[in-house]
Amino acid sequence: MVYHTVNFGDVEEFEPLPPGEYAVEVSKVEVRRNKADDADYLNWEFVVLDGDYENRRLWFITSLKPTALFRLKSVFEQLDVLDGDEMELEYDDDQEVTQSSGPRLLYPDVEGMEATVKVKSDMYDGKERSKVDDLYTGRKKSRKTTRTAAAESRTKRVRSQSRDEEEYDDEDEDEEEEEESPRREPRKSKSESRERETTPSRSRRNSERRRLR
C-alpha cells in the first residue's frame, strides 16, 4: 500500500475578477457534453493578457443546441471566422466527449486569437465567481481594476485634502496677521495738516484774550 502526503496549506485561493473588460487570448476550446446529456457545447478557456490579473484564466460556454446557436454565431463573427450560414466544426473524435473534458476544436482554428471579454460576477454553489458575459473583436488594453482604481482614488483624495488644508492654513495665517496688525488711522491730506498748523487752538486763543485784558 502506497501513501502520499499532500499539503493544502500553500494552495492559493484566487479571488474573483472584478466586473469589467479584460484583454484575453483564446487558450483552448473543448467540445463537452452538457449536464442534461442532450447536447454538446464548446468550453472556451481564455488567459488574461495584462493588468492586475495577468495570466488568470476565464471560461465561456457556447451551446451547440440549435436554439442557442445565436451566441456561437456572434462569437465567430467577432473573431472573423464565420464561414457562411452553415459550418462544419472539426475536432478529434479519438477523444471521448464527456461533461468534464473533450477533444479540442480544430476548425475553425481560434486558439491564440486575441479579444476582449466582458466579465460580470455570478454565484455558483454558494460562491462568487467571475463569468464571461460577452466577447468583442480585437484586443483592448485591460482597464484598471477596482482594487487599483480605489487605491489611486484614495491617493488623489489625500493629495486634494492636503492641498485644501494648505490653502486653509494660508487663509488662517492671513486672518491672524490682519487681527494682530494695529489699525492705522486714515492719512490726512497736506491741506488739512497745514490748516491745523496755522489755526490756533481754542484754549490758546482764550489765553491771549485774558492777557490783553
Q: Is residue 116 part of a domain?
A: yes
Burial (CB count within 10 angstroms: exposed 0-12, middle 13-18, buried 19+), residue 63: middle
Hey, what's the cell of 12? 492559493
User: Which pLDDT score is estimated for 40?
Assistant: 97
User: Which pLDDT score is estimated for 49?
Assistant: 96
Same-domain pairing of 71 and 123: yes
Same-domain pairing of 96 and 27: yes
Same-domain pairing of 123 and 24: yes
- Report the 10 Å Cβ neighbour count for 81: 14
Same-domain pairing of 60 and 137: yes
For the chain, the domain total comes to 2
Q: Is residue 192 part of a domain?
A: no
Same-domain pairing of 39 and 118: yes
Which conformational region is residue 152 in: left (phi greater than 0), alpha (psi within -120 to 50 degrees), or beta? Answer: alpha
CA–CA dist 153, 21 (Å, integer): 20
Which conformational region is residue 177 in: left (phi greater than 0), alpha (psi within -120 to 50 degrees), or beta? Answer: alpha
Hey, what's the cell of 188? 490726512
Same-domain pairing of 117 and 82: yes
CA–CA dist 91, 30 (Å, integer): 9
Burial (CB count within 10 angstroms: exposed 0-12, middle 13-18, buried 19+), residue 122: middle
Closest CA to 116 of 20, 21, 18, 49: 21
User: Which pLDDT score is estimated for 168?
Assistant: 44
Q: Are the C-beta atoms of residues 108 and 17 closer than 8 Å to each other?
A: no
Same-domain pairing of 37 and 116: yes
Hey, what's the cell of 60? 465561456
CA–CA dist 180, 2 (Å, integer): 89
- Omega before 66 cis (within 30°)? no
> Domain limits at 97?
20-142
Place of cell 476582449: 116
Same-domain pairing of 97 and 112: yes
Closest CA to 37 of 18, 65, 11: 65
The secondary structure of residue 143, as a DSSP letter, is P
Same-domain pairing of 97 and 164: no
Query: Each residue's pLDDT tens digit in the chain (213 positions)?
Result: 888 888 887 777 778 999 999 999 999 999 999 999 999 999 999 999 999 999 999 999 999 999 999 999 999 999 999 999 999 999 988 899 999 999 999 999 999 999 999 999 988 888 888 999 999 986 655 554 444 455 555 555 545 555 555 544 544 444 444 444 444 455 555 555 555 554 555 555 555 555 555
Same-domain pairing of 40 and 124: yes
Q: Is residue 132 part of a domain?
A: yes
User: Which pLDDT score is estimated for 147?
Assistant: 47
